[in-house]
């Protein structure tokens, strides 16, 4: 197993939190972990990447293997912990990517947990399709995408934005990054949509702070494998691209919509 792969996996990892010690004079020793395949798989991954955040372990389509989603990556681990595979698993009969299907299902379920009230939504009166877009207000292609928001709405596409400041939440100086602070101000604005559109034009929002979902949405993006913006997801959880023109967006959402287009 190459060192480069594990460094890549670790790079997107969320912080791994060790269990806190019990308060008081004596701390009881926890019982030994059951030697189940799931625990063997988990310990194998954590031995190789100690800071990995393991989010899901399920039986893989390959007999004797488990599918593991951890820190924005999907890998396959043998039930005995001897083998780890990183790559695209293809159904040789149907010619489809089982890895892509697994990612889409997982992303759909995780995105469904984000309330619409925590998103910034631009939608036609009667939307036919919905896309979720992880965005950074400063990225050039995010701005081009938003310039076409009216055209996207005319195609019946509702666009629901989630915050993903590319520079992260905390900078190397230990302080909140400028983009994170700007996006917090937008999410805390009296009119989020107006503040968002103005920011896409390069106008800094009035500084504001409140209880907001920006960090949670950034962390969710890491969990789902977001590495850049815009990242556009169809209703079925499929990553359909970065920037897409209205015509290309319509074709993509029709292919992956619940209604079939």
Q: The pTM is what?
A: 0.83
80 in catalytic set: no
The predicted structure's pLDDT at residue 33 = 56
The boundaries of every CATH 3.10.450.70 domain in the chain are 3-13+33-100
d(CA 86, CA 72): 13
The pLDDT-based confidence of 26 (bands split at 50, 70, 90) is very low
Please write the tens of the pLDDT for every residue from 138-179: 999 999 999 999 999 999 999 999 999 999 999 999 999 999
116-256 placed in CATH 3.40.50.1010: no
All CATH 3.40.30.10 domain ranges of the chain, comma separated, are 116-256
Q: Which of 136, 143, 191, 236 is catalytic?
A: 136
Mean pLDDT of 217-230: 96
The yes-or-no answer on residue 210 being catalytic is: no
Given 119, 143, 166, 188, the catalytic residue: 166
Fold of 3-13+33-100: Nuclear Transport Factor 2; Chain: A, (3.10.450)
Note if 119 is an active site residue: no
Q: 115 to each of 85, 111, 112, 158, 255, how far by Cα in Å?
A: 35, 9, 7, 15, 25
């Amino acid at each position: 197993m190459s060192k480069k792969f594990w460094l890549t996996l670790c790079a997107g990892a969320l912080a791994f939190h060790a269990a806190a010690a019990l308060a008081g004079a004596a701390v009881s020793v926890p019982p030994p972990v059951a030697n189940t395949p799931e625990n063997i798989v988990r310990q194998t991954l954590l031995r190789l990447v100690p800071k990995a955040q393991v989010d899901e372990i399920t039986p893989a389509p390959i007999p004797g293997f488990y599918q593991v989603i951890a820190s924005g990556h999907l890998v396959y681990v043998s039930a005995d912990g001897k083998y780890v595979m990183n790559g695209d698993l293809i159904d040789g009969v149907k010619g489809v990517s089982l890895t892509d299907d697994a990612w889409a299902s997982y992303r759909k379920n995780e995105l469904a947990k984000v309330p619409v009230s925590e998103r910034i939504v631009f939608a036609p009166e009667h939307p036919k399709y919905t896309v979720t877009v992880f965005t950074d207000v400063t990225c050039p292609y995010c701005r081009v995408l938003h310039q076409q928001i009216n055209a996207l709405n005319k195609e019946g596409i509702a666009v629901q934005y989630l915050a993903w400041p590319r520079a992260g939440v905390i900078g190397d100086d230990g302080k909140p990054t400028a983009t994170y602070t700007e996006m917090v101000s937008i999410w805390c604005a009296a009119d989020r949509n107006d503040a968002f559109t103005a920011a896409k034009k390069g106008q800094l929002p009035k500084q504001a702070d409140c209880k907001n979902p920006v960090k949670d949405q950034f962390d969710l993006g890491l969990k789902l494998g977001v590495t850049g913006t815009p990242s556009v997801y169809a209703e079925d959880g499929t990553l359909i691209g970065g920037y897409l023109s209205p015509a290309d967006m319509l074709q993509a959402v029709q292919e992956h919509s619940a209604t079939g287009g």
